A and B are shown apart, each in its own frame.
Chain A
Amino acid sequence: MIDKNSTTILSVQGLRASINGTEILKGIDLTVKSGEIHAIMGLNGSGKSTFAKVLAGHSAYEITGGSVQFEGKNLLELPPEERARAGLFLAFQYPIEIPGVANTQFLRLAYNTVQGQRGKEELDPLEFDDFVREKMKLLDMKPDFLDRSVNEGFSGGEKKRNEILQMALLEPKLSILDETDSGLDIDALKIVANGVNQIANPSNATILVTHYQRLLDYIVPDFVHVMQAGRIVMTGGKELALELETRGYDWISANKQSVAGVVA
């Protein structure tokens, strides 16, 4: 989906962040343009989920260096809700349960907040119901799902689908999917991947944070980045993911220098 007319959505330079005094991100550089799908791979503890949360503005992390431009704005200055309203979306690795709050109520509030921000019309409960049911078809979700409490008692697959449904509703500029494939069986994985593919278009961008190559069989990335110890140590095309799958992450350490130059 890369084309000449694409614009830069996200530009990360030398980003450093720590939690409780321990540095997790040690200088990340990444540029994401419209129409692109990026995969960030790496072992547990390499900092890839932290990177996702830092971009979304989680308060537990302290930014210690670098800069992030998002659609021409200084992202790091914005509180998390403004980042969301500006079009940055994070699909959570562990979606949070909110007992007593009906999913439809939550989805509508989120939708209307973002719509209001964009100067678009808000939907009343009846209009929203029609709208959300249409989007749910995309993810093969049952209608009763709207009346259940947000994520409460959902299976792993239902939670992840709920995340993608929100992504479909909010139409973000940049979607960051944090380990969305974890805990999904193959059928659910296909449904989720199909949803993501349908949402992706030439004017938005997607970052997939994942441990396994499996997801990339269904969502084909333009770039694959490998993270290690808080840095992106290697960048390549989709074939890099396959390479990783067969050779394992140990292979990276040995070949950092030689492969790193391929695409960057």
Chain B
Amino acid sequence: MKLLRFLAILLAIAMLATSFASAQEERVLVIGHAESTDSLDPARGYTQTTGVIHRALYETLVTFPDDSAAEILPMLATDWTISDDGLSYTFNLNPAAVFSDGSPVTAEDVVYSVNRLKNIQGSPSFLAAIIADVVADDADTVTFTLSDVSPAFLANLANTAFGITNSEVVTANGGSAAEDAATTDAALDFLNSNSAGSGPYILESWEPQVETVLVRNENYYGDAPYFDRVIITNIPEPATQKVALESGEIDLALDLTSDQIAPLEGNPNITIFRGPGNIVHFLLMNANPDIGGPMADPLVQRAVRMALDYPGYAALWGGVQPGSMMFYGNAYSFAPEQGVQRDLDGARALLAEAGYADGFDITLEYPTFTFQGVNMDTNAQKIQADLAEIGINVTLAPAELQVALESYRTGQEGFGYWFWGPDVLDPIDFLSFLPGGKVADERALWTPDVASEELNAMVAEARIATDPAAREELFTQLQAYTLENSPWAPFIQPDVQTALAADLQGYVWHPQWLLDVALLSRAE
């Protein structure tokens, strides 16, 4: 009996020891995240969670740089050409690219994945709506035909929803890319527990609401990632993520708010990553004199831009002054130093020229809202103080978000304060703020009718230009134009913050997929 007990103890110790040893050999990354998806199928899941996971499992034809959307880079495609009419895009595939089962990534796989995304009509399918046809010219070449010119097409293709799946594997597991795929595709269960991509990781398991486990793709044709295993553990409460990060249980907390991050400052085991996000806070000055009053005058609009204390807002929240209404980090966007600089004398002179030498009274409408830690009330008070310096007497009129949105959306706001996050990570998003664009036309009443012919012509060209050099020139001119003449005063692009273990290296925030786990490593 005694011997038996002794053996049992010995066995337990041995098991403990082996489990310890294997844990030491394996490099494991643990991420705390509030999971937000019902599906890991790239054609169906479309949330922050799937952005992170799909980035690790699947590759797209083209992609963005690691930390911005500043340009389009090759990924599964080595190069591409765009037809002169801007309607057809031809991609040459990287012949070295292979799926996790070792089979090559072919043009057929691209056709299958794109058609499946489009026809399944899942949450991300709208991204593929512009695609009229996609054909495999040969094993390594694929051509897309669009139903309309869409200069943002390449930026859309960089979305993880366009992750290329292994058509043979997906079909074998019930997948369909046919037109009736919305009702006939049955690969959901398979893709929820397996992956079929060419990314640096493969999906080992997904236990909804508990955890997602990724393991290294041994057949990956690119540089092997540092971590062998990535565990994304579901911690729905950000406050609990903070505790788990402090105790060292997780390496990275994805959902902390800025007031939860602040007390972590000074903790030697934790570093705080900061970098400009993609949200632009701006002032709207209605172009219609009946609504905007003095704010409708382009001279006054310019004076307001020159009166704002840009470094002051950056000191409040971290972040940068956006060079224009296009977020800094987007392709061709103006750098902070290219934006308007504060010049109070110049602003006063402009006001005098407009006939408001003694200033005027105005009401600033805005929602009482805190977005990603940035309190709009605080900013509104600073705007009030900044404009007082040039004689503009601002009365603050905060309102509940839904109430304020109503007057903003119907174009009834004379002078308002809002923020904007891009719908698409392409300069084309900027056109929302130019005559003919949604925000300009409907919120600021800056319509093509009241805009100069020169501006309307530039906008029309920018809407269809696909050649990178031509686009760069057009968007540079357009941004420069809005600094001189527009109903917008963008003033702060606040930092995003992420708290992570101090020994973790390589972390960068990305505006599209949030986090690329393959970039991370641990200091040794």
A is bound by B: no
